Amino acid sequence: MSVNKQEVRDIVEAVGGKENIAAATHCVTRLRFALKDESKVDKEKLDQIDMVKGSFSTNGQFQVVIGQGLVDKVYKEMAEQTGMGESSKEDVKEAASGKLNPLQRAVKMLADIFIPILPAIVTAGLLMGINNILSGKDIFFDGQSLIQVYPQWADLSSIINLIANTAFTFLPALIGWSAVKRFGGSPLLGIVLGLILVHPDLLNAWSYGEAQAKGEVPVWNLFGLEVEKIGYQGQVLPVLFASYLLAKVELFLNKRIPDSIKLLVVAPITLLVTGFAAFILIGPVTFAAGNAITDGVIAIFDNFAALGGLLYGGFYSLLVVTGMHHTFLAVDLQLVASAGGTFLWPMLALSNIAQGSAAFAMMRIVKDEKQKGLALTSGISAYLGITEPAMFGVNLRYRYPFIAAMIGSAIAGIFITINHVKAFSIGVGGIPGFLSIQSEYWTSFFIGMAISIVVPFVLTYVFAKFNWKKK
């Protein structure tokens, strides 16, 4: 696929010229700019460029949606034309971070930690879905699973389950790697820290409640101080806070220890200090805090299920616009570990489908051929879990499709929450999302999926009768 060099020049001009670009990089589908002054962006000119499928500003970055496969070529051409050189994602984030308020910085920090580990989590969710099909009862046979009827498939299912569960079993190691890297420490020490917190010599976190009830929680006796000998499988907060401490201790020591003995001193002291702090203070406090948060979220949805579904299902897409949706990934992971499944993630999947349905409706409504093509491709993308092209390229541009999607997602959210639909993992947030839903909730989830497909599509048509003539 060749790159139209004139269109690349037009993109640079539309964002205020190369003198307005502090740094630039790209992800899978978008150009990411840290601009000196976003008021200089000519959105109207940008929208008229054929290769541009939408644009938006979030977390201090101005992002231009190009599309998978083409965006890297556009970026290289832009770097060559402007002579500004290629920047890393970290360079752009650093250039953009100065514009953020404290809340935005906190959201950005969580996004920086959790986004890199998402591929592993989503892959695990998909594989667990395959295993769920093989081992779930009443899917193909009444009262029996596929592997019960065909036991020759049992070992295959067991291996798939082992591979799928690994990312969740060693989740603290994944978070430790990403968090320590984000905080400026050695990612390798972050992995070791995470593995320390789930060492097989520790009481498994999932067995803690039962052991506590029986009074059989093992302890270390540190000169009279009793420390519970428990692991933190599936926990998020303990490894996050411990990773921050590890990075700060490592940076402190690196500045003060001579290079000749760093290898012998820095890593051992860093792990010892962080490890003791994690088991004595950080772990117990954050473990209790995480459980309290989980219990609070569960209590809200248990007592006000319809309201919770209405608000989270309806407004999730607004969280995506602001970038705050990343904060709920930690809550989802905590719910999966502590509550046996998350009731929040299924609404995410339906919200993505709703945005895709509204985009498909716009494909039938708009007259411009470029917009028709954009609506088609972005709708398919949203159905497969990537909503930015549909949201920013189509639905937000015309507003009422976005509102129609929010309404459809809210209705679907109410329905699945009052039916207590849960996902056993995080997966692909679209049509394939059913693979991550516990099989006993499939019927309710498929009805919610139908609502997310039909309601936004119909409402977009209805709203168009009142809005389209004004366009």
**35 - beta bridge partners?**
21
10 Å CB burial of residue 31 (0-12, 13-18, 19+) is buried
Question: What does the alpha-carbon distance between residue 12 and residue 177 come to, in Å, rounded to a whole number?
Answer: 36
Positive or negative: CA dihedral 273, 277, 279, 283 = negative
Ranges of H-type helices in 257-368:
262-277, 283-303, 305-322, 327-339, 345-365
Question: What does the alpha-carbon distance between residue 188 and residue 449 come to, in Å, rounded to a whole number?
Answer: 41
Rounded to a whole number, what is the largest CA-CA distance in the chain?
Answer: 79
Chain mean position to CA 226: 38
**Whether residue 27 lies in the annotated active site:** yes
Could you tell me if residue 85 is left (phi over 0), alpha (psi between -120 and 50 degrees) or otherwise beta?
A: left
> Could you count the other beta carbons within 10 Å of the beta carbon of residue 432?
17
**25 - beta bridge partners?**
32
Q: Which of 3, 27, 321, 384 is catalytic?
A: 27
> Could you count the other beta carbons within 10 Å of the beta carbon of residue 287?
19
Which pair of structure tokens corresponds to residue 6? 């004139």
Which pair of structure tokens corresponds to residue 151? 């036991």
Chain mean position to CA 159: 26
Nearest CA to 105 out of 329, 312, 324 is that of: 324
Tabulate helix, strand, coil % of the chain (nearest 5).
Answer: 70, 10, 20
Q: What's the Rg (C-alpha) of the chain? A: 24
Question: What does the alpha-carbon distance between residue 442 and residue 417 come to, in Å, rounded to a whole number?
Answer: 13
Nearest CA to 124 out of 423, 325, 439 is that of: 423
Residue 93 φ then ψ, to 5°: -60, -40
Provide the CB-side half-sphere exposure for 130 (13 A, CA): 17
- Which residues, 6+ apart, have CB-to-CB distance to 356 below 8 Å? 378, 379, 380, 381, 382, 383, 387, 390, 430
> Could you count the other beta carbons within 10 Å of the beta carbon of residue 440?
14
Which of the residues are catalytic?
A: 27
